[in-house]
Structure formats: C-alpha cells, structure tokens
Amino acid sequence: MRLLNPLALCLVLAAAPALAQHDRGEFIGAFDTDRDGRLTRAEYDAGRAARFAATDTDRDGTLSETEYVGEYTARLERRLAASSDPEDRKTEERQRQTRQAKVRFGVLDADHDKRISRAEYDRVGSRSFDEQDSDRDGIVTAADRPARRDRN
C-alpha cells in the first residue's frame, strides 16, 4: 500500500473540514431536481451518477485526474463568473481550489491507480450525503443540523 507523502497528508488533513462541510444550500441546490428544497437520496444518487458520466469524457468507466479536475474547474469558473469579487480574489480562489481539486483526486483514488472508479466516487458521495442528513431520514433539508465536526 502506498502512503501519502507528509506534505500531501498535511494538505489532505487541512482540506478535510472543507471536504466534509458542504454549504447546505449549495449541496441541496446542486442535485435537487424538483427544486422543492428537499434533497432525497434518490435525487442525489441520480445527480452524482449523471455527473460521473458527464465527467468521464473518454467513457472508460473511470475518472482520470484531468477529467476530475477539469469538471470541477468548469463548475468553479461558472461560480466565479457570477461572483462580484475583485479579479485578484477570483485568481487566488481559482488557484487554491484547483490545488484542492488535485488533492481531492488523490484522496478519492483510494487504490492509487491514478483513476477514480465509480465505487470510489460513490463511497465518498455516500459519506457526504450521510454527513448532511443528520436526522437520517434519507432527505437533506435546511433543517438538518450541521455535520458533527461543525457542532461544538
């Protein structure tokens, strides 16, 4: 088994809260297809499956770092284009988020084969949904409490 080098491990540990703490509104909005403010597990799973398929541009059933980072970068660019932040802040955000996307790729690639399999992708997605669904009813709403690491 290959271990992360110390610098990569520090980056992953620093990013861990950000990986687990999604803005609830963005998390719901990204997958709530009927726009009722409630994200069901079925909506989430279908949205994640569609995102995986769209990201897998070479249609080989896995995601390369280029595919994964490219998809994220495209979403980031749309968000930055709509932002009123000054250009220097957008540039800093772009650089920081791109670095983090590469770190996330390494974390998601659990078997270190330089590809994210659908199983690896789904495992992290499932964990993210479960962290957001604090009452464990299979639906994420604004009423769900923040993830455990957000609470004091």
For range 88-108, the mean pLDDT: 97
With a cut of 60, say whether residue 89 has pLDDT above it: yes
Is the pTM higher than 0.85? The answer reads: no
Q: Which domains does the chain have, with CATH numbers?
A: 6-137 (1.10.238)
pLDDT score recorded for residue 150 = 44
With a cut of 70, say whether residue 59 has pLDDT above it: yes
Q: Does residue 116 contact residue 108 with C-beta atoms inside 8 Å?
A: yes
With a cut of 70, say whether residue 9 has pLDDT above it: no
- In sequence order, the β-bridge partners of residue 62 are 117
